[in-house]
Amino acid sequence: MAEVVIVPDQATGGDIAARRIASLVHAKPDAVLGLATGSTPLPVWSALVALRLDLARVGGFALDEYIGLPEGHPESYRAVITREVVEPLGLDPALVHVPAEGLSANALAGAGEAYEAAIRAAGGVDLQILGIGRTGHIGFNEPGSSLASLTRVKTLAQWTREDNARFFDGDVARVPQHCVTQGLGTILRAGQLVLLAWGESKAEAVAAAVEGPVTASVPASVIQLHRDVTVIVDEAAGSRLRYADYYRQAWDQRPEWDRR
């Protein structure tokens, strides 16, 4: 079962996730991180900046990328990762990868395999940071995604495009229809998963992912198949969790040797 941590605010949650990353990097200075974009991980990056670690040898693989944005578009996930992660954290840009980079639309067929090969060549992702969409997606694996899927092209759900319109001046028509995303099988290969969620709008998806059946209809439920998962939610995002009291108890009483 996942370890579920219910925190009073995003800053506390970001700090817990940042400390996980810090202890990983302490043990393995060339660790490889899986990088979610969107709003959710921002408190993790700011908490990590505050820890002032040397992350120059740390590698990164973005979860996903839009298809069809012009190169250098400020909302392409390459641009977002550069602005929000690589620059503030002092990562080496040469070690940070985004799927389908530099490929023309008709070369996309091989993008998934190339990305999988790059992840393998880097020794795999050690710690994957995840957000969750209202559709229950992780990465851009929308409902119906194979639980064994690898990096590939997907079509974004309308709900997801509406949610992401806020990054495109509120104009849903400007949100790309397609993306390349790590698959659920790719995500499961990471050494540990840290999924974060904030706010009431995520509560249903979080409860379904953590406590519902494992099903392609709720892609994030695949995390139940992973041995090392931490789910960090604020009170609102955790408000539909049936076993919230138990999660609080387990966190408060976690043994000294299990405090990462």
Residues that bind ligand F6R (CB under 6 A): 36-40, 63-64, 131-133, 137-140
In the complex, least distance from residue 170 CB atom to ligand F6R, rounded to whole angstroms: 14
Six-digit token pair at 228? 């090392």
15 vs 142 by CB, closer to ligand F6R: 142
Q: What amino acid is encoded at 65 in this protein?
A: E
95 vs 205 by CB, closer to ligand F6R: 205
In the complex, least distance from residue 162 CB atom to ligand F6R, rounded to whole angstroms: 11
- Report which residue's Cβ sits closest to ligand F6R: 131
In the complex, least distance from residue 37 CB atom to ligand F6R, rounded to whole angstroms: 4
64 vs 84 by CB, closer to ligand F6R: 64
Distances (CA, A) of 81 to 22, 131, 133, 190, 260: 19, 14, 18, 19, 26
34 vs 191 by CB, closer to ligand F6R: 34
Cα separation, 161 vs 178, whole angstroms: 10
Torsion of CA 169, 173, 174, 175, to 10 degrees: 100
In the complex, least distance from residue 121 CB atom to ligand F6R, rounded to whole angstroms: 22
State the pairing for strand pair 229-234/59-62: unpaired
Residue corresponding to tokens 């503030």: 88
In the complex, least distance from residue 38 CB atom to ligand F6R, rounded to whole angstroms: 3
101 vs 248 by CB, closer to ligand F6R: 101
Residue corresponding to tokens 């990590």: 48
C-beta of residue 214 within 8 angstroms of C-beta of residue 225: yes
